[in-house]
Amino acid sequence: MSKTICLALTGASGIPYGLRLLECLLMADCKVQLLYSQASQIVARQEMDLELPSRPADTKAALLKRYPAVDPEKLAVFGREEWFAPVASGSNPPDAMVICPCSMGTLAAIAQGLADKLIERAADVVLKEGRKLVLVPRETPFSAIHLENMLRLSRAGAVILPPSPGFYHHPQSVQDIVDFVVARILDQIGVSHTLMQRWGE
């Protein structure tokens, strides 16, 4: 049975990580519930010349055009305040949730239990239901406030996974570096991949 993964894109730099993760999840036959913030639309345009329309249906159409081999039934896209989305309720949580990239504002809101937007509410649901929550914070350096929020979330059961690539696999391109980070995320949520050779193999 395929996994259901909620993937959220927020306004931190690092949209290439999130889109590569989306691609890998869909290729692994996962059902993906995609959420995205208003700020992520700006970052996607800046970093990848990618338009994420405000209407979820238009975003889904654009992504299916980008990934034509994907089964449309495997991708669901929800608006920022679509409170009838499955991820808004503990009665229908995903198997795991990844916020990639994760802005410090989003991370702080989750750490404080705020849920004014669907992304934060979905993360709250995943934590309270004991499912895997992976946050990929793209910021440097971290302030004491950032670190305290991350520690609070780690103690609550979240995985804090900064996109810190290794170089022991001798990356030859930016894509290799992106794949290193995405591979670590997929390992955390139990999705098989062949993105890179593992240590010792």
* Interval 63-80: pLDDT, tens: 999 999 999 999 999 999
pLDDT for residue 1 is more than 80? no
pLDDT for residue 196 is more than 90? no
Collapsing DSSP states into helix, strand and coil, what is residue 137? strand
- The predicted pLDDT at position 201 comes to 76
Mean pLDDT throughout 142-156?
Answer: 98
**Is residue 15 domain-resident?**
yes
Domain count of the fold of the chain: 1
pTM: 0.96
**Is residue 95 domain-resident?**
yes
Question: What CATH number is associated with residue 112?
Answer: 3.40.50.1950
pLDDT in tens, 167-184: 998 999 999 999 999 999
Mean pLDDT throughout 125-154?
Answer: 97
Q: Which of 113, 106, 115, 126 is nearest to 6 (CA)?
A: 126
- The predicted pLDDT at position 179 comes to 97
Weakest-pLDDT range from 61-75, 103-117, 138-152, 187-201? 187-201
For residue 168, the enclosing domain spans 4-188
State the DSSP code for 72: G
**Is residue 196 domain-resident?**
no
**Is residue 195 domain-resident?**
no
Mean pLDDT throughout 45-54?
Answer: 95
- The predicted pLDDT at position 200 comes to 82
**Is residue 84 domain-resident?**
yes
**Is residue 197 domain-resident?**
no
Tokens found for residue 63: 């992504």
Continuous H helices in the chain:
15-27, 38-48, 56-66, 104-111, 118-128, 144-156, 174-188
Residue bearing tokens 């309720």: 89
- The predicted pLDDT at position 198 comes to 84
Rounded CA-CA distance 84/65 in Å is 26
Percent over 70 (pLDDT), the chain: 100
**Is residue 194 domain-resident?**
no
Rounded CA-CA distance 85/106 in Å is 19
- Centre a 10 Å sphere on the Cβ of residue 28 and count the other Cβ atoms it contains: 16
**Is residue 36 domain-resident?**
yes
pLDDT for residue 112 is more than 90? yes
